[in-house]
Amino acid sequence: MYKNKNLAIEIENLNFTYPDGTEALKDVSLKVCEGESLAIIGPNGAGKSTLLLNLNGLLKGNGSVKIFGTEINSSNLRDVRKKVGLVFQNPDDQLFCSTVYEDVAFGPMNLRLKEVEIERRVNDALLKVEMNGYKNHNAFHLSYGQKKRVAIATILSMNPDIIAIDEPSSNLDHNSQLSLARILISLLKTKLFVTHDIPYAALLCDRVIIIDSGKIVADGLLFDILSIPELLERHRLGFPPGFSIEKLKEDKNKLFH
């Protein structure tokens, strides 16, 4: 299935245990092709965030994680972090400068790029997330949805090949969710979205994996997996009231009209 395509991510037999003994990932293997959009769903505490943190070396488990064919190790972390942009679950963990501009410029400045190139990247990134009018604001005073977008801009300014976003839709109202979905769909990258919001996953992705208790328990096309309600129930994943696959397909079509 993957033979003739470039693999963006290849994880083999990854195990991760936190210092307190919590086994958060158990023998996880996963391949993601370049350009693919993958939803990672699962109940609270399943290991979704831990998996993302292993993709750019912020956490290092036992097993192998390859990014475009290169295994992550302590000597190539800088390169890996240029390739994999990770947006944390909580935007307050990502934004710490006194202005939005400085937050988004932080990564490119560390690459020691020229000032004009930094400015170009910051402008491009903020335009993409529709936050270019907020350069001089302090992120602390923005709404949650705006913070989330600025957090996304902080990784876009690094021009990564892979973006991994933890819980893009959480704490957003319906309209903010849809406008963020439009932005995320328009980014031409390899994309991973962690969420427990199945309809949102379906807006963004064709493929989904389900993680439960640290293990990948399903991997397939989202609409195929959604048609097995027992599978979702077994892993404590439910649909919101009034949800139907037909309505979801309608919403998906409506997004760009």
Ligand X SMILES: Nc1ncnc2c1ncn2[C@@H]1O[C@H](COP(=O)(O)OP(=O)(O)O)[C@@H](O)[C@H]1O
Nearest approach, Cβ of residue 182 and Mg ion (Å): 24
User: Under rule CB under 6 A, how many of the chain's residues touch ligand X?
Assistant: 12
- Is there binding between residue 54 and Mg ion (CB under 5 A)? no
Which 70-109 residues touch Mg ion, going by CB under 5 A?
A: none
Nearest approach, Cβ of residue 49 and ligand X (Å): 3
- Is there binding between residue 61 and ligand X (CB under 6 A)? no
- Is there binding between residue 22 and ligand X (CB under 6 A)? yes
Using the contact rule CB under 5 A, the part of the chain among 41-49, 79-87, 134-142, 152-160 near Mg ion is 41-49
- Is there binding between residue 20 and ligand X (CB under 6 A)? yes
Q: Which of 37, 49, 154, 195 binds Mg ion (CB under 5 A)?
A: 49
Closer to ligand X by CB, 117 or 233: give it. 233
Distance from C-alpha of 60 to C-alpha of 17, rounded to nearest angstrom: 10
- The two three-digit tokens of residue 111, written as one number: 């690459």
Residue 156 · residue 128 · CB < 8 Å: yes
- Is there binding between residue 54 and ligand X (CB under 6 A)? no
- Is there binding between residue 47 and ligand X (CB under 6 A)? yes
Distance from C-alpha of 199 to C-alpha of 205, rounded to nearest angstrom: 10
Closer to ligand X by CB, 48 or 121: give it. 48
Residue with tokens 């996963």: 30
Using the contact rule CB under 6 A, the part of the chain among 46-54, 221-229, 230-238, 241-249 near ligand X is 46-54
Q: Which of 39, 42, 84, 150 binds ligand X (CB under 6 A)?
A: 42
Distance from C-alpha of 171 to C-alpha of 4, rounded to nearest angstrom: 39
Tell me how many degrees the CA angle 28-31-34 measures, rounded to the nearest 5: 145
Residue 218 · residue 30 · CB < 8 Å: no
Using the contact rule CB under 6 A, the part of the chain among 15-23, 108-116, 138-146, 227-235 near ligand X is 15-23
Closer to ligand X by CB, 46 or 87: give it. 46
Contacts 24+ apart (CB under 8 A), 10-14: 10/64, 10/65, 10/66, 10/69, 11/54, 11/63, 11/64, 11/65, 11/66, 12/63, 12/64, 12/66, 13/62, 13/63, 13/64, 14/51, 14/54, 14/61, 14/62, 14/63, 14/64, 14/65
Where does residue 8 fall: left (phi above 0), alpha (psi -120 to 50 degrees), or beta otherwise?
alpha
46 interface partner picked from Mg ion, ligand X, none, CB below 5 to 8 A per type = ligand X
Nearest approach, Cβ of residue 165 and ligand X (Å): 13
Residues binding ligand X (CB under 6 A): 18, 20, 22, 24, 42, 44-50
